[in-house]
Amino acid sequence: MKIIITFIVFCISLSTFAQKDLNRNGRIDVYENENNSIDLRVLDLVTQMTLEEKIGQMCQYIGWRTSEKETKNEDLKVNYKFSTHDAIDLLKEGKIGSFLFVENQKDCNILQQASFESRLGIPLLLAIDAIHGNGMTKEGGTIYPTEIGMASTFDIDLVEKIAAQTALEMRSIGYHWTFSPNIEVVYDYRWGRCGETFGEDPFLVGQMGKAMIKGYQGSLDQTNILACAKHFVGGGISNNGYNGSPADISERTLKEEFFPPFQEAVKAGVYSIMPAHNEINGMPCHMHESYLNDMIRKDWGFTGLYVSDWMDMEKLYSIQKTVSSETEAFEKSVNAGLDVHMHGPKFLEAMIQLVKEGKVQEKRINEAATIIVKSKFELGLFENRLTKRQNVKETVLKKEHRETALEAARKSLVLLKNNNVLPLKKDNNKIFITGTLADNQAMLGDWAIPCDKTDVITPLAGVKQSLNKTSTVDYLDMGSIFSMKDSLIKEARDRAEESDVVVIVVGEHGQRNQKPNYQTLGENVDRPVLCLRGKQKELIKAVHQSGKPIILVLIGGGPIAIPWEVENVDAIIQAWEPGMYGGKAIADVIFGDVNPSGRLPFTIPRSVGQLYNHYKLKPSSYARGQFLEQARTPLYPFGYGLSYTSFEYEIIEYSKSISTSDDVHVKIKVKNIGDKIGDETVMLYVNDIISSVATPIKELAAFKRISLGVGEERVVEFTIKNKQLSFLDKNMKRIVEAGDFELMLEGSNRVKLKEIFNAY
């Protein structure tokens, strides 16, 4: 029996490396033995690597259409100066460490199989932009709400679950690295990537980002993936809201608003960080050595890898004009700390020459190669780099993941207005539904290619599925945002007159890769205005003339300025980009099957003139009264959101006096005093009433989402960390000053309470 067991173990050990020539040196090397420690395996492997192979690990190429014939890759050659098949030849020579945008499981395996043929058989890291579910693969994937919708849930556990499920789907196909989460704080709502973020508050952004990192990475094994915190830093406040344009930000604002989410990501153990496209105060982020090396690595303790954004090293030369050649761009970027080049041509040859000339030290190359191959050991790729088709079928779009997508969509919807028209009754109702976004996949948002129609429930489909047989739905297709005809607007008004109630679905179209492409928001699609575009407002005004109640549903990744609509329609639902089951969630809220519970992670302005009108303003912001012809206050503030029930709050215990080094402990009793079950997000703010440097009128310090039945009450406990009471003094030193602080409690239906505590 002992002999048989030994033989089985021996066969299993051999099968692990069956597709690689293990006899090239007559032995299994230390790095190939999974029983050795990861550190020992990394050391052994890197020691054996040539300079060319180490730089090869830093090279990332695109992997589109790997399984197609060479003749079908001409577009790749034109746009990217090579084809995937050229890259495979480099891979077999050990000159590539990772690929991105591999389209399917078959292609993942083709590339990994080729990696066996390199001298050392090092597996690949396969990366993809799985931002809110794995939406950029042709294998399909569960599409959850975009990040701004996730932020609206204020549900940290749910966000972590979404990331963990995304990791499972990615690993089943063969991907190991997502360029997510985007933890930039947004100030300029014209920026097309607002929906890819968690909003305007650094504390909320940091908490949500940590949850996603934890869900993606777990304990880093064969069910997890590498997360990537991006983009460091300032994309959310770039010039004119244009993606990648310069950002000029004071040191105080950087440290108070933009750095904190990335500091939280480093504390959470994020494995990779991506610098921003833009320059900060004149210095391109991709060559910002004092930030990447000195601050993030040395001061914050980051031990992971830096990856460039799409050919952004080259942009130091081609766009930002801070170097005299692409080779110098590579030199400055790598010396600043960049470990992986996205993507492709010229980098490897240039780096070899730079090392030979002494402009980049081989020690720097060793550092990069070490952290890259270490990630591959930690992910178990040396033992299990290939995937099975059956795993894809069993994992992608599995029932549990679909249920989570629906739960997230329901929790993300924000009820902005309700003149007692909602919830609607399901029977004996004639509903007219129209709008540019009522029956298409715009609700999937950016970073999601078109899905199979059977996997998506649009608002129109959701309403139809929810109604009883005694009710009817009349639908009018209005075309795209910029192609709406006046004749259709008139027809919509006439058909509205024949209905009992009207549902209008409008907003922004963030989904990419459609034919024709109607995208009005997303990466590199920035907005010149914040109002409804095209003739969408004209549609709403025309239908309003019918005199029938209007339920306005807003789709889109950023705030939309709608002051006229707020005054004139009966109900408004901010749906963001709610994912593949967004239409079901919208219908559930409209008909009362779900009590709305989302809260705004953005301030919604009255117009584009209210840019930077985020909630953390300082007292002097309102000192001079109103704008000419417009109120200074926003249309809807950060944290706003209505419910079909009501909640009663009571602060039952708090630290009335603390030292300047203490935390603050607070107990709050919340009771559902309405007649419906509901979720409530308890939000606690603080304000340093008198401070030696001007500070915001309030800052979010804690939040918790709870669910309460009718008449149910619960005690919620918070600890406000001492650091959350601090600010940067005139010498840019973080301190907590003695004095009075205001404790502010806010809930849905505008519940507000205030108490004062003292720090001595």
pLDDT in tens, 53-99: 999 999 999 887 777 765 455 555 545 555 666 788 899 999 999 99
Share the mean pLDDT of the chain: 92
- The closest alpha carbon to 495, from 512, 483, 478, belongs to 478
| Architecture, CATH, for domain 31-394 | Alpha-Beta Barrel (3.20)
Q: What is the distance of C-alpha 542 from the center of its chain?
A: 36
pLDDT at 69: 60
Q: How far apart are the first and last CA of the chain?
A: 74
Per-residue pLDDT tens for 684-699? Answer: 999 999 999 999 999 9
d(CA 626, CA 631): 5
Q: Look at the block and give the residue holding tokens 């919340």.
A: 670
The count of other CB atoms within 10 Å of the CB of residue 490 is: 11
Nearest CA-CA partner of 597 in 605, 589, 607: 589
664-672 and 571-576 strand pairing: unpaired
188-213: pLDDT as tens digits: 999 999 999 999 999 999 999 999 99
Tell me how far apart the alpha carbons of residues 391 and 393 are, in angstroms, rounded to a whole number: 5
Contacts of range 747-750, beta carbons closer than 8 Å, 24 or more positions apart: 747/647, 747/649, 747/670, 747/680, 747/681, 747/682, 747/683, 748/597, 748/599, 748/641, 748/642, 748/643, 748/647, 748/680, 748/681, 749/642, 749/643, 749/646, 749/647
Residue 745 burial (CB count, 10 A):
22
Looking at residue 613, what is its pLDDT? 85
DSSP structure string for 336-373 = HT--BEES-TTHHHHHHHHHHTTSS-HHHHHHHHHHHH
> Which of 191-200, 424-433, 606-615, 661-670 has the least mean pLDDT?
606-615
Q: What is the pLDDT of residue 733?
A: 96
Residue 134 contacts residue 101 (beta carbons within 8 Å): no
**Pairing outcome for strands 501-507 and 283-284:** unpaired
The two three-digit tokens of residue 460, written as one number? 């129109």
Using CB atoms within 10 Å of the CB of residue 730, give its burial: 0 to 12 exposed, 13 to 18 middle, 19+ buried.
exposed
| DSSP conformation class of 248 | -
User: C-alpha angle 327/329/332, rounded to 5°?
Assistant: 115
Predicted structure pTM score: 0.94
Give the phi and the psi of residue 502 in degrees, each rounded to 5. -120, 135
What's the pLDDT score for residue 74? 52
Query: Is it true that domain 413-609 has CATH number 1.10.357.10?
Result: no
Q: What helix, strand, coil percent values describe the chain, rounded to 5?
A: 35, 20, 45
Unique residue bearing structure tokens 């090293």:
313
- From the CB of residue 663, how many other CB atoms can be counted at a distance below 10 Å? 14
Q: What DSSP designation does 415 have?
A: E
Q: Which of the pair, 123 or 624, is modelled with greater confidence?
A: 123
Four-point Cα dihedral 333, 523, 404, 178, nearest 10: -20
Please choose, from the candidates 63, 292, 274, 71, the residue with its C-alpha nearest in 3D space to the C-alpha of residue 178: 274
Which has the higher per-residue pLDDT, 311 or 625?
Answer: 311
- Do 140 and 396 form a contact (C-beta atoms < 8 A)? yes
Q: pLDDT, tens digit, for every residue of 100-155?
A: 999 999 999 999 999 999 999 999 999 999 999 999 999 999 999 999 999 999 99
The CB density around residue 627, as the number of other CB atoms within 10 Å, is 12
Kindly state the average pLDDT of the residues 639-646.
96
Residue-level pLDDT at 7: 33
Q: Return the pLDDT at 629.
A: 76
DSSP bridge pairs for 574? 414, 554
pLDDT above 50 for 221 = yes
Q: Supply the pLDDT for residue 77.
A: 52
- In terms of average pLDDT, the best of 74-83, 543-552, 747-756 is 543-552
The more confident residue out of 439 and 343 is 439
Q: How confident is the model at residue 3 (pLDDT cuts 50, 70, 90)?
A: very low
CB–CB of 704/719 below 8 Å?
no
Structure tokens that stand for 393 in this block: 């079928």
Number of neighbours of residue 85 by Cβ within 10 angstroms: 14
Mean pLDDT for 558-584 is 97
> Residue 461 corresponds to which tokens in the numbers above?
């489909």
SS (H, E, C) 14-78: HHHCCCCCCCCCCCCCHHHCCCCCHHHHHHHHHHHCCHHHHHHHCEEEECCCCCCCHHHHHHHHH
CA distance 691 to 204: 24
Is the pLDDT assigned to residue 14 strictly greater than 50? no
pLDDT at 32 over 70: yes
Cα–Cα distance, 600 to 595 (Å, whole number): 16
- Residue 755 scores a pLDDT above 70: yes
What is the architecture of the domain spanning 647-759?
Sandwich (2.60)
- Render pLDDT for 471-530 as a digit per residue (tens, 0 to 9): 999 999 999 999 999 999 999 999 999 999 999 999 999 998 777 788 999 999 999 999
Spell out the residues 6+ positions from residue 686 whose beta carbon is closer than 8 angstroms to its own: 664, 698, 699, 701, 720, 724, 725, 741, 742, 743, 744
Question: Is residue 674 left, alpha or beta, with left meaning phi > 0 and alpha meaning psi from -120 to 50?
Answer: beta
> Coil, helix or strand for 550?
strand
pLDDT at 760: 86
Give the domain ranges of the chain. 31-394, 413-609, 647-759
